Amino acid sequence: MSDKQEADERFERERVEAERRLTEERAAANERLLEEREIAERRVVEEREFATAERLHERQAGRAAVLLGYVALLRRNLPLIEERNAREAPSPTWVTLEEVARELVSGAHVDAPMLGNAEVEERYRTLVHLFLSVRQKDCEVTPGKTVGDLRNYAKFVKLSLIALVEGTELPKNEGQKHPHLASSGDRAQWHPSHIPPDFDDEATLDPHDPQFRPLP
């Protein structure tokens, strides 16, 4: 083989090797580009999901704050239910309870559906239904017992709303879902089957609660 032939073969091998390296480099560059694109797309999706979750949380917090105010209003006026003129329009007691009812019902129509949680919405709506039922003239009110049942269920609803906003587990209740007003005098006072950690502490905020104890 002549020197020229050897040079031509060497050149051809080098050319083939250069093309192979170039092909591999292009493939590697395309692979990197594809990975970077996928990472960028995932980041956009994650940022969009985070923004959506933030908006949902802000909406939940705002709506829950309104409902917490209505629950506090209910608890503050619970003792009025046992007054003789509570269901006699237009007595001052009746007027006050009518205002409470309007606020509670407004929350059930406007704010509760925007919580984004069917279980908490149902618990709030049940509280409203219980209060409206107690205000009916044919509903028998057992002194101490009826108000106590409503107070405990209101605590349960309040702690459910707080758990929703904080992103913690909702208070559990695997027993009687809500107080039975028709048999209010025949049963022990209603409590959720699993007492939430802060349930008893709620008494410190309600001087009408039998468990309330003044600080020494």
pLDDT in tens, 5-52: 777 677 778 888 888 888 888 888 888 888 888 887 888 777 777 656
Q: Which two tokens stand for residue 14?
A: 């080098």
The rounded mean pLDDT for the chain is: 87
In a domain, 95, yes or no: yes
Angstrom CA distances, 150 to 68, 124, 138, 162, 216, stand at 15, 12, 17, 18, 29
Angstrom CA distances, 211 to 53, 134, 204, stand at 39, 23, 8
Cα atoms found within 13 Å of the Cα of residue 54, Cβ hemisphere only: 6
In a domain, 97, yes or no: yes
Contacts for 43 with CB less than 8 Å, ≥ 6 apart: none
pLDDT for position 52: 62
92-110 average pLDDT score: 95
In a domain, 21, yes or no: no
Tell me: pLDDT of 105 over 90: yes
Residue 57 CA to residue 196 CA, distance in Å, equals: 22
pLDDT for position 184: 53
In a domain, 30, yes or no: no
* pLDDT tens digit sequence for 120-129: 999 999 999 9
Q: Predicted confidence band at 87 (pLDDT cuts at 50, 70, 90)?
A: confident
In a domain, 32, yes or no: no
Check: CB of residue 112 under 8 Å from CB of residue 135. no
* pLDDT tens digit sequence for 146-196: 999 999 999 999 999 999 999 999 999 998 899 988 665 566 889 999 988
How many domains in the chain? 1
Among the residues of the chain, which ranges form H helices?
Answer: 3-77, 92-106, 118-134, 145-166
pLDDT for position 142: 83
In a domain, 74, yes or no: yes
In a domain, 176, yes or no: yes
In a domain, 113, yes or no: yes
> Range of 168's domain?
59-205
Radius of gyration of the chain (CA): 33
